[in-house]
Structure formats: C-alpha cells, structure tokens
Amino acid sequence: MSRAPLILLCLVIGLLSGVAIAGISPVAAGYAVAIGQPLGTLWLNALQMTVVPLVVSLLVTGVAATAQAARACRIAARAIILFVATVTATGTMAALAGPLLLDLFPVPQAAAAALRAALTDAASVAPPPPLGEFIASIVPTNVVSAAANNAFLSLIVFTLAFAFAITRLDEAPRARLIDFFTAIRDAMLILIEWVLRLAPIGVFALALVVGARAGTAAFGALAHYVLIVSAIGVLVMLMAYALALVGGRIGIVRFARALAPAQAVAISTQSSLASLPAMLQGARRLGIAESTAGMVLPLAVAILRGTQPAMNIGIAVYIAHWFGIAITPGALASAVFVGVLVSLGSVSLPAQITFYASIAPVCQALGVPIAPLGLLIAIETFPDIFRTLGNVSMDLAATATVSHLSGTTDHEGHP
C-alpha cells in the first residue's frame, strides 16, 4: 500500500479504536490517551523541527531560480510577474471566501467542541498584536530570535531580502551560497521523508487520542473540513477559467475542452508534472505557439501553485473557526503574504511532503495552533485532488495569458 492510503487507513483505525476503547471503559480510554498523546506529540515535534530550515532554504533557492528564469528572456519575466499576481489573487480570494464559507456552512458545533476538547494539549501561538505593533514587527531586530520564536513573517522578510542580495553577488560567491542552501533544502527533504515514514504510527496515535476524547463527532468534523477546503480549490479552478477568458481571450467552452485531458491526468495522478504533456497538447489546441508553451508551461509547473496559498489559508482559517479564534484583518493580510511567498519557494513534490512546512507558517501568521495539522495531513489525499486540478487549470490559463500578451497566440487554434 502506498503511503497516502496507509496514513488514511491508520487515521480511521485510530479514531475507531479510540471510540471503541472509550465505549468499553473510561479507565481504559485514559490509559490509551496516556500512551497515544506523547507518541503523537513526538511525531509532531519531529515534523515541526524541519519547518524553519526548510522554509529558509526553499525561499533562497526559489528566489535564485526565479531571478535566473526572469533574466532568460522577456516572455519568462512576463510569466513570473503574472505568476506572482495570480497566487496573490488566489490567496486574497481565500482570505475573503474562507470565513464567508464557514459563516454559510459553519463547523458543526458539537463536533468542534469535541475536537477542541480532544486537542487540549495543542499549544496555541500568541494572538496577533495590534496593527501598529504588527507593522513595526515586520522587520526583525534579531533574525535568530525570529526563527527561534517561529515569527515567520519577520523571518520570511529577512530571508527574502537576503535572497535578493545573493542574486547581486558575483558569480562565484553567488553559486557557493546557492549550492549551500540547495544542500540544506535537499537534506531537509530527506529528513522529512524519514519523518513521514513514521506518519502511520504518529497519525494512529493522534487519532486514538481524538477518538477516545471526541468520539464519533470527529468523523463529521473531518468530512466538513474536506468539503470546505476542497471548495476553495474549486474556486481557484473557476478563477483559472476567468483568467483564460479575460487574459488569454479564449472562450470558456474552448478552454475547458483543451484543458479536460490534463484535468483527467491530474485526477488520476495528483501531479502537475505528470499532467504536463497533456497541458502541452491543450496549449497546441488553443493555438499557443509551441516555443511559448514549451517555455512557460514547465516554468508554471515549477513556480506557479495557484491553489497552494489559497487552500493553505483556507486550512488556517478553518482551524481558527475550529478553535473559536477571532481573525483580524492584519492577521489575514499577514497570512496571505506568508502563504504567497512560501508557495513561490516550494518545490514540485507530493503535497504530503510539503504539507506541514507550507501550512505551519500560515497558521503561525494567523495566530492559530498547528497541532491539528498532524490529523489533517492524513486526509490530504482528498483535498489534494482539487489542489492539482486547480494548479493544472491555472498553469494552462496563465500560459494562454502570457501567450496573448506576447502576441504568440493563433486564436484559430489546432484540431
């Protein structure tokens, strides 16, 4: 069995075991919690220890690769500008739509209360400061302290400035620093892979505790979470159709027909990279010059993750509602900023590998606990389908837009 179904299976078995043990004997449930809680916390701590070095190394290497691509030619530079604008738009959409969706379809109160009680050991981060303090704290006075205190907004601002400074160095020192951070990134990814090999045990332990404390209410809450977060992915996909219409001057029906084969591959593989050949065929049907599609589409697969900031913000907003934490406009703005930058620095890997590292900074920026991510990673298989669908749709829409802006589209298309 591959890892994703195995982790999901362990989640279900853990929840059912916890419910069964609690039904048999409250004393036995206490023993189960006493055993499962430290095991689950240990696994969560192992994941959390990778976040800061991975985020920093991904940003440095991501900025370096993006700057190099932007220098390659005008079309690549235009594509990168569009990519940044696109993920900023999708992140902002999620910051507005997430709370609205939860107001229209709120978290079941009984399930939310039960899950809050089940995660009593989840340590919440400090609440966001007032607006004036928030603005003053964006630039860190001590970057080491910012890293130690998980002040991701300050840390990302410093890392971003540092990464751009590296791009201005002479070739030899620039290459040495980029190689150094590339090695850190690759080593951290290996470490995360090791930690994820223990995910079935960690998720089972966490689920056992939740099942023993929350009972069957946990299943309803997790199903509601999947629906809300997946809905944000669907909204991103709809934004891709709008971008193709407005930016690429391509009719929605025609765009949908060209995109359909790539979407089919995306559903079956949950991989944007595996969908690239079908996207190239779709670009040809839309009349996009092969020279443009051959440059922009691979660049989009590598850099543009239209659903990542949106769905990550949606997850953080969901956790805030789950725990009854008020969300301030400043905290939402911070979450969008952090979510966009982390998405641009991420690498094209399965979502479970980058899930914790890409969402934990957004949660910290929004002021919500990150402990629930240990459970949510187990059901990422379902939202990940909509992540990939949205990403593939946005990749082709962005390519069509760049092609139209560059004057390389034959709007008659090809059969």
The whole-angstrom separation of Cα 21 and Cα 27 is 9
* R_g (Cα) of the chain, nearest Å: 22
CB contact at 8 A, 159 and 59: yes
Confidence bin at 236 (pLDDT 50/70/90): very high
- Is a pLDDT exceeding 70 seen at residue 390? yes
Residue 413 lies in a domain: no
The tokens 């620095």 sit on which residue? 345
- Is a pLDDT exceeding 60 seen at residue 414? no
Please give the share of the chain, as a percent, with pLDDT higher than 70: 89
The whole-angstrom separation of Cα 262 and Cα 239 is 17
Round to the nearest angstrom and report the end-to-end CA distance of the chain.
40
Task: Give the pLDDT score at 389.
Answer: 92
Arithmetic mean of pLDDT over the chain: 83
More confident call, 81 vs 271:
81
- Is a pLDDT exceeding 80 seen at residue 201? yes
The whole-angstrom separation of Cα 266 and Cα 262 is 6
Instruction: Summarize pLDDT for 128-168 with one digit per residue, the tens.
Output: 655 566 666 667 777 888 777 767 778 888 888 888 899 88
- Is a pLDDT exceeding 70 seen at residue 411? no
Half-sphere exposure of 166 (CA within 13 A, CB side): 26
Task: Count structural domains, the chain.
Answer: 1
Instruction: Summarize pLDDT for 296-318 with one digit per residue, the tens.
Output: 888 888 788 889 899 999 999 99
Residue 127, sorted as left (phi over 0), alpha (psi -120 to 50) or beta, turns out to be beta
CATH number at residue 86: 1.10.3860
| Cβ neighbour number for residue 192 with a 10 Å cutoff | 22
Interacting residues of 87 by C-beta distance below 8 A, sequence separation 6+ = 304, 305, 306, 308, 309, 340, 343, 344
Residue 102 lies in a domain: yes
The whole-angstrom separation of Cα 355 and Cα 222 is 17
Instruction: Summarize pLDDT for 180-193 with one digit per residue, the tens.
Output: 998 998 898 888 88
The whole-angstrom separation of Cα 192 and Cα 57 is 14
φ and ψ at 326, to 5 degrees?
A: -70, 140
Residue 99 is part of which domain span? 3-406
Task: Give the pLDDT score at 356.
Answer: 77
Instruction: Summarize pLDDT for 325-372 with one digit per residue, the tens.
Output: 888 888 888 889 888 888 876 655 556 667 777 888 888 888 888 888
Residue 411 lies in a domain: no
Residue 338 lies in a domain: yes
Q: Which of these ranges, 16-20, 106-110, 221-225, has the smallest mean pLDDT?
A: 106-110
Residue 281 lies in a domain: yes
Residue 412 lies in a domain: no
The whole-angstrom separation of Cα 284 and Cα 258 is 9
- Is a pLDDT exceeding 90 seen at residue 29? no
From the list 47, 50, 302, 61, the residue with the least C-alpha distance to 159 is: 61
The whole-angstrom separation of Cα 115 and Cα 281 is 46
Local structure of residue 125 (DSSP, 8 states): P
- For range 377-394, the mean pLDDT: 88
Residue 171 lies in a domain: yes
- Is a pLDDT exceeding 60 seen at residue 1? no
The whole-angstrom separation of Cα 30 and Cα 8 is 24
